[in-house]
Structure formats: C-alpha cells, structure tokens
Amino acid sequence: MIYLDNASTTRLDKSVLDQMLPYLTEEYGNPSAIYKLAKTTHKAVEEARAKVAKILNCEPAEIYFTASGSESDNTAIKGIARRYQNKGKHIITSKIEHPAVLETCKALEREGFEVTYISVDENGILNLKELEKSVREDTVLISVMFANNEIGTLQPVKEIGEIAKKHGVYFHTDAVQAVGSELIDVKALGIDALSLSAHKFHGPKGVGALYVKQGVRFERFVDGGHQEKGRRAGTENVAGIVGLAAAMELAYKELEEKNKRVRALRDYYEAEVEKRIPYIKRNGDKQKRLAGTSNISFEFIEGEGLLLNLDIKGICASSGSACTSGSLDPSHVLLAIGLKHEIAHGSLRISIGKYNTKEEIDFLVESLVEIVNKLREMSPLYERVTGGN
C-alpha cells in the first residue's frame, strides 16, 4: 500500500502513541478532580497546552483544546461573530476555504449575518485589494485559511493580519493544513484566532486546538462544565491532548528536514508527470505552497476513474477534497482558480508525507502513465482532439 493522502489524514507516529498510552490505561483520573490520580492528568493537559503555545508563540491561557479542526473553526467563527454581533454582522472569508469554514459561514448567513467571499487569482492566492475594499463599518471578522487543503497554496497571512488590524477587525485563520508543515508565529503574523488539528501531523484523530488571543471574546461552543476556562465543556480527552502536543513538538523538530525531503519528492513527481504525460495542468502557485502537496489536472479523464485505478494498484490519493469526492460537483477550489468544469473533474491531489519514499513516487508515476493512457484511449473526445494519436 502506498499512502499519498497526507492532506486528508496522517498515520499516528509510534513515538506519539507511546506517550499517549499511559493516559489510556493507568492514568485515568478526571483532570478536574482533587485527588492525586487527577493531579497527573491535569498536569499532562497543562503541559500539553504550554507546548502548543510555545510553538505558536502565544500564552498557554490562549490555547483551547477541541475535538477537531472543524470544531475549532466553528468555535472561532460562530463564537466571535455571535459575541460581537451588536458591533456588526458582516464577515469576510475566501472562496477556497475548507467546508468547515464555508458551511459555518452559511450557517451564520441563516442567522442573519452577511458574508463576503473573496476571490483568488489563477494561482490560488487571495486578492488582497478585494479584501481591503470589502471591509465595512459592520465587519467583525475576517477568516482566511493559512494553507489550502486541495492545492496547497499559502495565503498572504501577514498582509491579511495587517489589513484586519488597520480596520479594527478580528482575524481568524484555519491553519489545519499548515500546522506541522509551516513555522507559525501568531504574534508576528497578527493572528487573533487559529485552528489546528492533530491528525494532520501524525497525531491522533478527534482532537484539535484553537488559539484565541487574550482580549478577543467568543461565545462558548459547548455548554456544561467549566473545562477549558468555561469555553468548552466536557471532560478532557487527556490522551488525545497529550498526543496532539507530542505530535506537534515532533513535527516542528523534524520540520526543516521533512520539508526538504517531501519538496524534493513532490518536485520530482511533477517533473516526471510533465515529461511523460501530455495534456496536463499543474494547479496552484508553484512557490507559495506546502512542500508536500501537488494538484494536477489530467485532461480527458475523470478523477474518480483515476482514483479507482490507482486504488487497484494500492495507491491512496485524492481528487480534490475528501469531503466533496463522491459528489458530482467539481471542487470549488479548482473552479475558483478558473478551471473549466471538465478539467477540474480530472484532477489528482497527492500529498506526500514523512514516510513516503522515492520508490513509491516512481511507482506512482509508472502507474499514472499506464492508467491515463488507458482511460484516454476510451475517451472519444481525446481521440477527436489528438486525431487518434
């Protein structure tokens, strides 16, 4: 099996699991209790909070643990929007956000909020002029992702932070793809709220975190007990939280070396595909993107067919976002960068991770050459365009 879908989720690192295990067995105390058994788990959660804060350059008190990246996005956007609705009910986001942000904005629209969706250029980079022009008197929040999950593009986060600050608007970023792959200093970048999720950087599934700058208020997302400073009720997922922090620490220790390695593999893959397969288009800014992500459209091909054939060869990849595959709509991200429907349909995202090897990439390229040829031979349109060559 060759796993090339690390943007979707990643394999739990064995050393992370080892650090989690005690909290799934003998260290089972409820962190809120007062006896010794609980002191250990309470301390573990607070140590994890401090580790996460240190990496993002913020205070431990500014970190809230959640159950996913999606929950962090929901908490930040709904929480801030509802808390400040007396000031204004306008939110700005981008057209290429993850569904966790887009659907949250749709939900707020149903509550009477107004949302402006900013466009991106053909490389998938946010239009800053359009962003600044769309800020209004009643704008309370800008939410733009740090790195896109389908094409990997890195957004001009620092510039967005500056625009937000200049206009007195809060800035949230969905950094779920970026954490573990990019250095992030929330202070230097002017970020007021940031979402992250452990399973995207070799941590466990079902645990995320949300950074919210001190002084920025937000309505609590889960009512109940007083956990997470009264912002999110529910007994802490201690093992998950320990795993999140351990995985994050490890990811930043390995960051430079990993990025160098996966970038070389990604660039090699794209060069080979460009050399060996005609009628393709590489998507997303070539420089400003995550090291391991590649998105290529193969003309005259259906992405689903490509994925099924790759699966037969034991290769896991994606045709855009996992959340939209299975539906017939082409990816909203690929449409936003200006691809025609039929070209967007034939797109393949691979996301390379720390466990991938050059041999695996070679096998992927060989398989793609074979599969693309086979599928194109069955396409009447391809025959017409190429004259049957």
Binding site for ligand PLP (CB under 6 A): 68-70, 98, 100, 145, 149, 174, 176-177, 197, 200, 208
- For the CB of residue 97, give the shortest distance to ligand PLP in the complex, in Å: 8
Three-class SS state of 166 = helix
- For the CB of residue 184, give the shortest distance to ligand PLP in the complex, in Å: 14
The 3-state DSSP composition of the chain as helix, strand, coil percent (nearest 5) reads: 45, 15, 40
- For the CB of residue 89, give the shortest distance to ligand PLP in the complex, in Å: 24
Taking alpha carbons only, the member of 266, 292, 285, 284 closest to residue 364 is 266
Indicate the residue among 139 and 177 with the shorter CB distance to ligand PLP.
177
Q: Is 323 a catalytic residue?
A: yes
- For the CB of residue 243, give the shortest distance to ligand PLP in the complex, in Å: 13
Indicate the residue among 309 and 331 with the shorter CB distance to ligand PLP.
331
Indicate the residue among 143 and 197 with the shorter CB distance to ligand PLP.
197
- For the CB of residue 82, give the shortest distance to ligand PLP in the complex, in Å: 20
Indicate the residue among 89 and 98 with the shorter CB distance to ligand PLP.
98
Place of tokens 């970020």: 191
CA distance 108 to 267: 40
Q: Helix/strand/coil (H, E, C) string of 185-219?
A: CCCCCCCCEEEEEHHHHCCCCCCEEEEECCCCCCC
E-assigned strand segments in 154-262: 170-174, 193-197, 208-212
- List all residues 6 or more positions away from 138 whose beta carbon is below 8 Å from its beta carbon: 87, 88, 89, 90
Indicate the residue among 309 and 318 with the shorter CB distance to ligand PLP.
318
CA distance 205 to 353: 17
Indicate the residue among 8 and 19 with the shorter CB distance to ligand PLP.
8
- For the CB of residue 66, give the shortest distance to ligand PLP in the complex, in Å: 9
- For the CB of residue 349, give the shortest distance to ligand PLP in the complex, in Å: 11
Question: Are 3 and 11 contacting, i.e. CB atoms less than 8 angstroms apart?
Answer: yes
Place of tokens 């093992």: 239
Angle 284-199-206 from CA coordinates, rounded to 5°: 130
Report how far apart, in Å, the C-alpha atoms of 40 and of each of 22, 28, 249 are. Answer: 11, 9, 20
Please pick, among 58, 105, 316, 323, the residue that the annotation labels catalytic.
Answer: 323
Place of tokens 């003309």: 299
Taking alpha carbons only, the member of 107, 118, 59, 63 closest to residue 81 is 107
Closest residue to ligand PLP: CB criterion: 69
Indicate the residue among 208 and 303 with the shorter CB distance to ligand PLP.
208
- For the CB of residue 288, give the shortest distance to ligand PLP in the complex, in Å: 16
Amino acid identity at 352: I
Three-class SS state of 43 = helix
- Calculate the CA 314 to chain-centre distance: 25
Which tokens sit at 223?
A: 């009512």
Taking alpha carbons only, the member of 226, 151, 159, 186 closest to residue 76 is 186
Ordered DSSP codes for 51-72: HHHHHHTS-GGGEEEES-HHHH
Indicate the residue among 20 and 273 with the shorter CB distance to ligand PLP.
20
Taking alpha carbons only, the member of 316, 382, 311 closest to residue 343 is 382
- Catalytic positions: 323
